[in-house]
Structure 1
């Protein structure tokens, strides 16, 4: 059922606070007129504003409103539309927001999310002193380009159009089609953008002698035509997403896998382990098996992994704490057990190993340099482990098994269960290491 209203503006908040001659008020009046023509329930409208002078706009509408961060208003709008595809979500942002949030703008267009973006394009940052923006034309004098802009301006409409926006239009506050273009944008079932050029009468217009006539000439000079620039209907993202996943709605994506303790542990205080290895050698997996085995033995466990941004190269460290009481931290400054297995990890822990006291134990790969330490040292000869000398991605789990065999922190059977069928052979091989 339609909802015919004379206006969507909250009369108690008027008049607008913008500078005399500023185009912002005109844009808001045209948006109000478009909403009136749409006859939509104001409770089904969400105005999402950006930062800048245009960010003052949401309070003037008797609709729902969200005030966002600079350039991020499109992301809020996307989330709102995904949460309720029946809402009419309108983003109000300036050319500055389009620059700062350009990545968000591109991806919203690419997805064809059903939001409407109204760009208050006054060619500069009007709220903060008239600095240049991504739409400042060549030669434009601003606070940050006093000798004239030398960059080519961003074609906001062209950018979203080439990335899949299903309705794109450009106009100015001096054109008579603003309301109609906004109405078409609001009715479009997909991503829409209307780029409205206007005058910033506080900064850009006086500094550049910009008028209605010179603005129209500027659009021609830049090769930026007005009117509807793209109209290509295609599936709207929020609806397509629901169709894609309607068969799994309500299902648990990852059902819980509770681990009930079935073994007993003799650990009466927190024990910290460090496994020092290399990327691609399943260091984190071995640490995970150690931690899960602890849980199966009635212990609390934490695990922290550390590695560089590279993939399958560089060091890999895992730190595990096993405790009879709940553990609320992951730091292991002075570990009880260190498994020093590969050169990459050795370089990261050598200093810590050297500082360990006699209460700690270090299991070192026989091929690594010896570190002077007061800790007890156990040498592991992987090269002598028949059939395992080349299976370096199993060495970490083998070392965990050897250390558990010696320490008795919890039963090896718990580690066997935690490692699963894929790690069973490595656990057995580790029990034979010496």
Structure 2
């Protein structure tokens, strides 16, 4: 089948703009439409990305794909689109407000040289929300939030992205006759391109500052800001470079199956909580139990909890085992608890107190006086013929719990440990736990 694509003379649809009389947004969008028609891009391959503000209304006026999101985040959406579909032409429309809110995103997209084109509709204030000052408001300017004149120095958007690696950077105004040509150049540039387009906000900035087109141009001069194409150089575009670098790498997304090699007598869902300290391999010990359970034909889920300090404080793992899938919800009263440190005990003390006679708590002599309604099993690591490091206590006691309760064969834990990292020390810990 042959498909004929008729070139568009304009990419604007027939919906009228909603902008205030004299606002620069409409003229910039008309120039964008001219630029797209000049390049003659298939509209199905163009994505216009916008966020909040008057400029954020723009995407709906084009016969292209569009993405509309949160204030200041348009560049993040555009980056994702470009990385996922590098063949698309991705154009960001954002105001100076969004530029300030999303400044980190702006810098990093420029630094990475992501192949998107950013049009900044820079009207020097937050126009949609009442004329508050933005990061580009000139010093001395009157706005709703700077009634005595702005004290801040305005952000130089072009210099900011330019020194951070942007491949094409332009500054001009919505009145520039060659604006559509500059937009064409920016879109055709393979890397990150930005146009800082100054314009008038006739609702707020113009009346508050008696601003005109001449005032716009003279302000640029007073601030010592150059106009025209300010940066232009070729650097590897990020999406292209990423694909080239990863093309021959093996996939890490292929799931690794866990074979069933042992039977388990378990007929009901059983929940275990392992409570220890950060850095004591609590989570990895719990993971070995989960994998061993799966090797024994059971279902297993694991949920971990630890503080933001990561290397200090408690480390808690909840493992739910059973012959049927269990909902991954938190354990409030476990069937089995393993406590190997004071940090862990403090965290699970309410759980232990709530446990009844059907529950079992495994711990070490240091916590033999723990308050619980469950049956208490105290295991002394010093009774082992081999020295047990503190970092292996969780795995040793878990192995002892599995063996004494008969949840599944300990051999399944041995197989899981042998197939994983730190096999030698984990196998030694399992052997020690089996003997206690």
Q: Please, what TM-score do these two structures have when normalized by structure 1?
A: 0.93
Pairing 1:427–2:427 present:
no
Write the deviation string for residues 156-205 of structure 1: whole angstroms up to 9, x where unpaired.
Answer: 11111121110011111233332222121112110000000001000111
Paired residues for 1:251-262 under 5 Å: 252-262=251-261
| Residue in 1 that maps onto 2:64 | 63
| Residue in 2 that maps onto 1:44 | 45
| Residue in 1 that maps onto 2:327 | 328
1:60 deviates by 2.0
| Residue in 2 that maps onto 1:319 | 318
Cα pair 2:271 2:331 within 8 Å, conserved: yes
Q: CA separation in 2, counterparts of 1:299 and 1:274?
A: 17
Change (3 A) 1:178 1:2: farther
Cα pair 1:314 1:344 within 8 Å, conserved: yes
Q: CA separation in 2, counterparts of 1:4 and 1:261?
A: 60
Q: Secondary structure at the match of 1:55?
A: helix
| Residue in 1 that maps onto 2:297 | 298
| Residue in 1 that maps onto 2:115 | 114
Q: CA separation in 2, counterparts of 1:55 and 1:350?
A: 53
Change (3 A) 1:53 1:6: same
Could you tell which deviates more after superposition, 40-49 or 340-349? 40-49
| Residue in 2 that maps onto 1:96 | 97
Q: Secondary structure at the match of 1:217?
A: helix
Paired residues for 1:329-368 under 5 Å: 329-368=328-367
Could you tell which deviates more after superposition, 236-245 or 57-66? 57-66
Cα pair 1:307 1:316 within 8 Å, conserved: yes
| Residue in 2 that maps onto 1:183 | 184
Cα pair 2:363 2:397 within 8 Å, conserved: no
Paired residues for 1:81-92 under 5 Å: 81-92=82-93
Q: CA separation in 2, counterparts of 1:384 and 1:137?
A: 76
Q: CA separation in 2, counterparts of 1:43 and 1:322?
A: 50
Q: CA separation in 1, counterparts of 2:192 and 2:275?
A: 50
Q: CA separation in 2, counterparts of 1:9 and 1:206?
A: 30
Cα pair 1:171 1:177 within 8 Å, conserved: no
| Residue in 1 that maps onto 2:412 | 414
1:93 deviates by 0.8
Cα pair 2:386 2:432 within 8 Å, conserved: no
Change (3 A) 1:56 1:254: closer
Cα pair 1:2 1:40 within 8 Å, conserved: no
Paired residues for 1:229-308 under 5 Å: 229-248=230-249, 252-308=251-307
1:4 deviates by 5.2
Q: Secondary structure at the match of 2:344?
A: helix
Q: CA separation in 2, counterparts of 1:261 and 1:6?
A: 64
Q: CA separation in 2, counterparts of 1:85 and 1:414?
A: 46
Write the deviation string for residues 408-430 of structure 1: whole angstroms up to 9, x where unpaired.
Answer: 11111112112224321111111
Q: Please, what TM-score do these two structures have when normalized by structure 2?
A: 0.93
Could you tell which deviates more after superposition, 76-85 or 225-234? 76-85
Q: Secondary structure at the match of 2:225?
A: coil
Q: CA separation in 2, counterparts of 1:315 and 1:179?
A: 60
| Residue in 2 that maps onto 1:132 | 133
Could you tell which deviates more after superposition, 255-264 or 357-366? 255-264
Cα pair 2:278 2:306 within 8 Å, conserved: yes
Write the deviation string for residues 320-368 of structure 1: whole angstroms up to 9, x where unpaired.
Answer: 1111222013322111111110121111112321232111111112223
Q: Secondary structure at the match of 1:164?
A: coil
1:80 deviates by 2.0
Q: CA separation in 2, counterparts of 1:87 and 1:337?
A: 55
Q: CA separation in 1, counterparts of 2:338 and 2:88?
A: 57
| Residue in 2 that maps onto 1:22 | 23
Change (3 A) 1:4 1:350: closer
Q: Secondary structure at the match of 1:367?
A: helix
Q: CA separation in 1, counterparts of 2:258 and 2:8?
A: 59
1:386 deviates by 4.5
Q: CA separation in 2, counterparts of 1:368 and 1:229?
A: 70
Write the deviation string for residues 213-268 of structure 1: whole angstroms up to 9, x where unpaired.
Answer: 222222122222211111121111111122112224xx642432222322222222
Q: CA separation in 2, counterparts of 1:265 and 1:385?
A: 27
Change (3 A) 1:76 1:366: same
Cα pair 1:122 1:200 within 8 Å, conserved: yes
**Which structure 1 residue ranges, 4+ long, deviate > 3 Å from structure 2?**
1-5, 383-387
1:131 deviates by 1.7
